[in-house]
A and B are shown apart, each in its own frame.
Chain A
Amino acid sequence: MSIYLKLVSALIKSVEPSGGEKKRNKVFYFVMSFIAVFLIMIPMAFLVGVMIYSLTAPLIKLGSGQNAVTLFLHLISVFSFVFGLNVIFSVFYFSGDIENLLPLPLQPYQIILSKFTAALISESVMEFIVIIAAFAGYIIASGAPFQSWIIAVLGMLTLPIIPLIYCAVICMLIMLVCHFVKNKDTVNKITSFLTFAVIIGIAAAVSQSGGLDTEHLVNAISAPGNPILNVMNIIFPHIQFLVGATVNNTFVNMLYYIGINLVAIGLFMMLSELIYFRTVSGISHAAASAKKPLSASLEKLRQRSRTITYLKKEFRILVRTPAYFMNCVMINLIWPVFLYLLYVLQGKTNFLDSFIYGIHTGSEESVLLFLLGISSLSVLITAANSIASSAITREGKHFAFIKYIPMPYMEQLNVKAMVSIIISGGGMLVYVIAAAIYLGMGIKMTLFCCLLSLLSVSFVSYFGIFMDSISPKLIWDDELNALRGNYYVFFNMAVAILLEAATCAGAYLLFRFTELGALMIIIMLFIFVMLLNAASYLLCRYRATKNIDNLNG
């Protein structure tokens, strides 16, 4: 047991910022944590709680009070499974510590269980908050007794176990079946494809359902023999018992819940004893290409601008590293799926249809909202894909390269920003143009939308690089850790969301409560985004370069 705990502690420490990093930027770290927790996590948790509360109250009258929270916890488990697949794969098979752990006299289950626990803790912090918020909404609406809170906390800490066990079992089975592949990149491509397929599958399934307005949902959830709930109860059988225990405070339900979790852990450990060592040995990171004669290789060499070559280097690394490709590039393809879901799930309120009608009829409010939406999406996507906010972190152990080559820091940072602008902005332009065509906008308006989108992307790109330069996480054993274990990616997202929310709220309030027309507000918005660009560029020019200069490579 003590070996297990020591391993878990060591593995968690390896993905966290070091004490030195935290100490160096104590004030900054505190401010960023405050913004992330109080302005993003807590409001989000509050929204979840309110949603579950408002669904539970009418459901109780129909005699299916626990269905809303059950369905929500199923949904959380599905997300946990989808996004956990890649993480578990990386942690079990491709992290740098495996080569150090395998020669030690440890049982497979000791390695697997400690790695699993470390991944569970570091990956589920956000999930814990959402789960407890859902329980809070439910407990308050149903007036359940105080003991329910204790069960809810237990549920919060243990709910993600079974979805992640599913991920772990699937990973080991894939490695067993694909053992002949023995190559990290190929396996990563398989999991990326699987993740993408599951997300599309969810979107397709949801698009078959009706809207998500409260009345429709309450009717659907309370329907006897709800088919979705029935299927989900088979896939995640523990959830119904946990909810049952919270509602009725029954000891039997709690025993079932704990029992199912223990059986799952036991089976998982048995399977890892049988499979893990067989599947983990001999994994390579990349296959050698077919050998070519030197003359053929030399022919391709040409002197070009160093900016272009550096840009190509950045693109190659982003695209060829599966963890970066999935988290930084592919995410640009996934978010339109979520937008589509939003469109499908709007239900009877049909906000988007009335908004589209507003654009067609030249409603100033709709046009303003459309532009604010474009700017917000551009900011969110650029911050979420973390291409810019992990640009220096991704250099990792070869960060010194930035410092010893004869290429000014700002020139290198410009290239890094350009990569983010091309990938995030390129994606945005396709969607903006498609939306403009769909909405029948004129060329001038379309061009303006594109320009606003690019400026929003560019501002977040430079700002993200500046944020990353403050304290990049240069020591990581696995590329996924460079992104996931990096709090600054999250901080950057928090600041970007905050700034964009303030901008949108400000613009909309000006429109509603002043005499300024939409055109004037749009001009002000444009000037404001330009100013943000100038500020973030100057931050990079004068602060980020200094930060890099001060970092010991």
Chain B
Amino acid sequence: MIKFENVTKVYNKTIRAVNDISFNVKGGEIVGFIGPNGSGKTTTMKMLTGIIKADVGKITVNSFNIRKDPMKAKESIGYISDSPDMFLRLKGTEFLDLIGDIYHVPTKKRQERIEELSTRFELNEALSSPIMSYSHGMRQKIMVVAALMHNPPVWILDEPMIGLDPKSAYELKQMMREHANAGNAVFFSTHVLEVAEKLCDRVIIIKKGDILYDGTLENLENSSKSDSLEEIFLELTEK
């Protein structure tokens, strides 16, 4: 459902943020994207969503090329960015209504989805208030609700757990699993290795724009002498 083929991104003709990477995420998979700060995770995710143009290579989402058929590709994506400070002057419902119209979510389905998601994230009573009055965690929650409202087949989540309280983080992890079990793809970045360990079917480790590892955690652990995922990660990324 997600396919990267020899993708490269260079900033200002000098900084090679992503260097000839290739990977794919199949339906039914949760893939964790792990790497130190500045390793190219966010650039990769932004290229995947069409925010940044890749210099070289081909990116396909749900069989649609993000450059050649951007609207179809974007409609297939539910994206949570790394910053939830968006449209702070709008009320929660106004923001969700905007997203609903952009993704053509019918009224009834929209009401049902918002009810379901906001109940799971305990956001019900806040929806009538301006997003500006929300705490960081609540802003993150409404971004999650907005991204998932149209039930897209591909979820792309950039550090989705940051700011979420334990219950909401648990709910989101549950939903990621349910979504993948229904045959969809979930691709998310994280710094929290425990989350990756518990949730991911596969991890991709990136450093300075190069993919260092792409495979299951089980294989990674078997191929290393270190005991914990943390040690393996440090061993890989600090070489």
A interface residues with partner B (beta carbon < 8 Å): 20, 284-294, 296-298, 300-306, 308-310, 312-313, 316-317, 320-321, 397-398, 400-401, 403-408, 549-550, 552-553
Question: Which of these, B91, B98, B106, B125, contacts A310 with CB under 8 Å?
Answer: B98
Given A293-B125, A294-B125, A297-B93, also A400-B46 (CB < 8 A): yes
Question: A316-B89, A320-B130 given. 19 additional CB < 8 A pairs?
Answer: A284-B133, A285-B132, A286-B88, A286-B130, A286-B132, A289-B129, A289-B130, A291-B129, A293-B125, A303-B105, A306-B102, A317-B87, A317-B90, A321-B89, A397-B83, A397-B86, A398-B85, A405-B74, A552-B11
Q: Is the CB of A301 within 8 A of B96?
A: yes
Cα–Cα, bound, A304→B79 (Å): 22
Name the B residues within 8 Å of A316 (CB-CB). 89-90, 94
Q: Is the CB of A294 within 8 A of B127?
A: yes
Q: Is the CB of B97 within 8 A of A553?
A: no
Name the B residues within 8 Å of A310 (CB-CB). 98, 101-102
User: Can you list 15 contacts pairing A with B, beta carbon distance less than 8 Å?
Assistant: A286-B133, A288-B130, A292-B128, A294-B115, A294-B124, A301-B96, A309-B98, A309-B101, A316-B90, A404-B81, A405-B103, A408-B71, A549-B53, A553-B46, A553-B52
Given A286-B132, A291-B129, A553-B46, also A306-B104 (CB < 8 A): yes
The smallest beta-carbon distance between A47 and chain B, in angstroms, is: 40
The smallest beta-carbon distance between A309 and chain B, in angstroms, is: 4
Q: Is the CB of B128 within 8 A of A398?
A: no
Name the A residues within 8 Å of B129 (CB-CB). 288-289, 291
Name the A residues within 8 Å of B114 (CB-CB). 298, 301
The smallest beta-carbon distance between A343 and chain B, in angstroms, is: 37
Cα–Cα, bound, A109→B90 (Å): 36
Interface residues in B47-84 (C-beta closer than 8 Å to A)? 49-53, 70-72, 74-75, 77, 79, 81, 83
Cα–Cα, bound, A269→B12 (Å): 45
The dominant DSSP class at the B interface is helix
Say yes or no for B21: interface residue by CB 8 A criterion.
no
Q: Is the CB of A553 within 8 A of B51?
A: yes
Cα–Cα, bound, A292→B91 (Å): 12
Q: Is the CB of A403 within 8 A of B50?
A: yes
Name the A residues within 8 Å of B89 (CB-CB). 286, 316-317, 320-321
The smallest beta-carbon distance between B38 and chain A, in angstroms, is: 15
Cα–Cα, bound, A400→B43 (Å): 12
Name the A residues within 8 Å of B83 (CB-CB). 397-398
Q: Is the CB of A400 within 8 A of B105?
A: no
- Considering the complex of A and B, which 4 residue pairs feature the smallest CB-CB distances, nearest first? A406-B74, A288-B133, A286-B132, A309-B101
Name the B residues within 8 Å of A284 (CB-CB). 133
Q: Is the CB of A404 within 8 A of B77?
A: yes
| Interface bits B147-188 vs A (CB < 8 Å: 1, else 0) | 000000000000000000000000000000000000000000
Say yes or no for B100: interface residue by CB 8 A criterion.
yes
Listed residue (B52, B81, B110, B128) with the most chain A CB atoms within 10 angstroms of its CB: B128
Name the B residues within 8 Å of A293 (CB-CB). 124-125
Q: Is the CB of A298 within 8 A of B115?
A: yes
Say yes or no for B6: interface residue by CB 8 A criterion.
no
Which chain A residue has the least Cβ–Cβ distance from B109?
Answer: A303
Cα–Cα, bound, A313→B98 (Å): 7
Name the A residues within 8 Å of B100 (CB-CB). 301, 303
Which chain B residue has the least Cβ–Cβ distance from A184?
Answer: B132
Say yes or no for B216: interface residue by CB 8 A criterion.
no
The smallest beta-carbon distance between A188 and chain B, in angstroms, is: 12
Cα–Cα, bound, A320→B133 (Å): 14
Q: Is the CB of B102 within 8 A of A398?
A: no
Q: Is the CB of B128 within 8 A of A296?
A: yes
Q: Is the CB of B87 within 8 A of A313?
A: yes
Which chain A residue has the least Cβ–Cβ distance from B128?
Answer: A292
Question: Which of these, A287, A312, A549, contacts B133 with CB under 8 Å?
Answer: A287
Which chain A residue has the least Cβ–Cβ distance from B43?
Answer: A552
Say yes or no for B126: interface residue by CB 8 A criterion.
yes
The smallest beta-carbon distance between A252 and chain B, in angstroms, is: 54
Which chain B residue has the least Cβ–Cβ distance from A286?
Answer: B132
Cα–Cα, bound, A306→B12 (Å): 35
Name the B residues within 8 Å of A306 (CB-CB). 101-102, 104
| Interface bits B110-136 vs A (CB < 8 Å: 1, else 0) | 110011001100001111111011000
| Interface bits B8-28 vs A (CB < 8 Å: 1, else 0) | 000110000000000000000
Name the A residues within 8 Å of B118 (CB-CB). 294
Cα–Cα, bound, A408→B69 (Å): 11
Q: Is the CB of A289 within 8 A of B91?
A: yes
Listed residue (B72, B81, B83) with the most chain A CB atoms within 10 angstroms of its CB: B81
The smallest beta-carbon distance between B169 and chain A, in angstroms, is: 22
Listed residue (B77, B89, B118) with the most chain A CB atoms within 10 angstroms of its CB: B89
Which chain A residue has the least Cβ–Cβ distance from B97?
Answer: A301
Given A286-B132, A398-B86, A398-B87, also A403-B51 (CB < 8 A): yes
Question: Which of these, A313, A406, A550, A552, contacts B90 with CB under 8 Å?
Answer: A313
Say yes or no for B107: interface residue by CB 8 A criterion.
yes
The smallest beta-carbon distance between B229 and chain A, in angstroms, is: 31
Cα–Cα, bound, A312→B102 (Å): 13
Q: Is the CB of A300 within 8 A of B93?
A: yes
